[in-house]
Amino acid sequence: MKEATLLETLEINPAKEPILTVILLHGLGADGRDFETIVPELKLPDTLPVRFIFPHAPMQPVTINNGYVMRAWYDIVSFHIDEHADEAGIKKSEQQLQQLIEQEEKRGIPSEKIILAGFSQGAVIALTTGLRYPKKLGGILALSGYLPYAEDVIANANPENKNIPIFIGHGTEDNVVPFFLGTLSAETLRKHQYNVSFHSYPIPHTVSMEEIRDIRAWLVSYSNK
């Protein structure tokens, strides 16, 4: 596959030298600014200086939106989003995310201190990339998403990432990415002995303060390692 273009990003750095990087991918039609406000809301301790990187997805036509051009990590061709997933588009975004991981390594953050995170479409890319990445990563944070082609992705996963922590959060009232897709993804990963913590919330396709508190606790666990 032709090498993908390096993504444009927004970046928020801690006051101290970062010991951990979180790369957080937005959902369909949003951009990197969508989750900027989550950083102060997390209220991370000074003992856990984290660099947050928010990439902008490329602009591309999206089939279910009548071909309207918007920021998307891959095309969606059906309102039944788990059907006919755009495998080529997912792989292209996976390659672009891998480039960002490699860039962080060059800046001095080892791969095992890099967490891949995402919301909705971004969660799909975070899960897919995190499982297949050729080096050990720090963790995967998947919000309101799912894992397409799960058995194939797992069959081609890197054994080094078998034990990394995976946080999956999903709203029970989600009418965009149905709740059952989040639970099914978690169950499939657990069946293959992945270290998954699944969290449900009485919310639609969004992120709640309760979920942010749970994410904070999950991230702070790095301070105790």
- The reply to whether 174 belongs to the active site is yes
Q: From the candidates 31, 34, 75, 174, which is the catalytic residue? A: 174
Phi and psi for 70 in degrees, rounded to 5? Answer: -150, 175
Q: From the candidates 82, 205, 208, 214, which is the catalytic residue? A: 205
Which of 17, 218, 25 shows the shortest CA–CA distance to 120?
Answer: 25
63 to 11, 21, 86, 149: CA distances (angstroms): 30, 33, 11, 20
- The reply to whether 84 belongs to the active site is no
Q: From the candidates 93, 120, 144, 185, which is the catalytic residue? A: 120
> How far is 143 from 125, CA to CA, in rounded Å?
11
- The reply to whether 223 belongs to the active site is no
Residue type, 130: G
Phi and psi for 68 in degrees, rounded to 5? Answer: -65, 135
Catalytic residues: 120, 174, 205
